[in-house]
Homo-oligomer: A and B are copies of this chain.
Amino acid sequence: MSDESSRPVCVLGLGLIGGSLLRRLDADGATVFGYNRSQTTVDEAAGDGHDVSTDLDTTLDRAADEDAVIVLATPVTALGPILDAIAVRAPQCLLTDVVSVKEEVARIVAHHHPDARYVGGHPMAGTVHSGWRATDPTLFEGAMWMVSTHDDTDPHDWLAVARIALATGALVVPAADDAHDRAAAAISHNPHLTAAATAAVGGGESLLSLRLAAGSFRDGTRVAGTAPELQRAMLEANSVALLNTLSATIDRLVAARDRLRDHGDVAALVEAGHRARLAYEEIAGEEPAPITGVDVGGDGWAQELRRQAHLARVWVG
């Protein structure tokens, strides 16, 4: 295994997340190189001084030679062929990813590259914009970066992936894939659907309505502006967890509608939403407490990391 502090990183996919990661690691003087299938993107990234290519095979050969950590940063729908190529040209490389949904990615990895050394990841960062021009080396500063943490996870590989996250300025949240996917459905994917419904209902009324729209509509529908194909790829890959949170949302809105119709009040829903928002603001507004007392690789390390993460703590190295 290479010296961790100088281990190269190979980023496959240079959209918002992959591109921002490459830029951040490059800015910090790390060895980092990348691939994107679009010549335009590669030209833009190369024009900004980065070591990038449209040639996947050559990029993977180099990753194998240098024992690079490979970061999968394409949409989930593009992973299969890339993993097929990795299984042939760089089968020993440690893999991670920055794709939203962890159980689905793990299934795709297992299908296309059964012997992969793979530790999943997901930085909770993004904007409604996409493409190289939207990339930002500070995108991950202070963000939460989930790293897959299971009882059979290799601790050295886990540390290698966690250190990439920390190098971007993010904080590491250790979690099991299924817990992550349920959380992502609740706090990311479901908000996309409620934003879409809110926007569609508001926009369907009249131009007068959109002219009168102010902060509650502007902020509440912001993520509906994300490119539909990106939203679909993310949401549809997490369909089981999303079905649960969407059904819970519908149940709450139906109960509120019935109460409003029969008794004229919306107290229960407004108060539940207010409590949840205050709980979020309390968590988001304070410096996260660090996970303490865990020797990664020691007895029960993965379980203890997950336990402390469920207390909203983060791993900071």
Contact = CB atoms under 8 A, between A and B. Distances in A.
Copies in the complex: 2
A246 B253 contact: yes
A61 interface: no
Please report whether the interface of chain A is mostly helix, strand, loop or mixed according to DSSP.
helix
Contact of A280 (B192, B221, B267): B221
Nearest to A227: B274
A211 B309 contact: yes
A201 interface: yes
A203 B243 contact: no
Interface string A240-281: 001101111110111011001100111101111111111111
A5 interface: no
Contacts of A25: none
Contact of A211 (B173, B207, B245): B173
A213 interface: yes
Interface string A182-224: 1110111011111111111111111111111111111111111
Contact of A274 (B214, B228, B269): B228
Contacts of A60: none
Interface in A37-73: none
A303 interface: no
B228 A205 contact: no
B194 A124 contact: no
Interface stretch (A27-35, A78-86, A230-238, A292-300): A230-238
8 contacts: A180-B212, A187-B213, A190-B202, A191-B221, A195-B220, A202-B245, A211-B314, A219-B222
Q: Lowest 8 A-B CB distances belong to which pairs?
A: A196-B273, A203-B276, A224-B273, A183-B209, A199-B276, A186-B205, A224-B277, A124-B214
Interface of A: 124-127, 143-144, 146, 173, 175, 179-180, 182-184, 186-188, 190-228, 231-232, 235-236, 239, 242-243, 245-250, 252-254, 256-257, 260-261, 264-267, 269-281, 283-284, 288, 309-312, 314
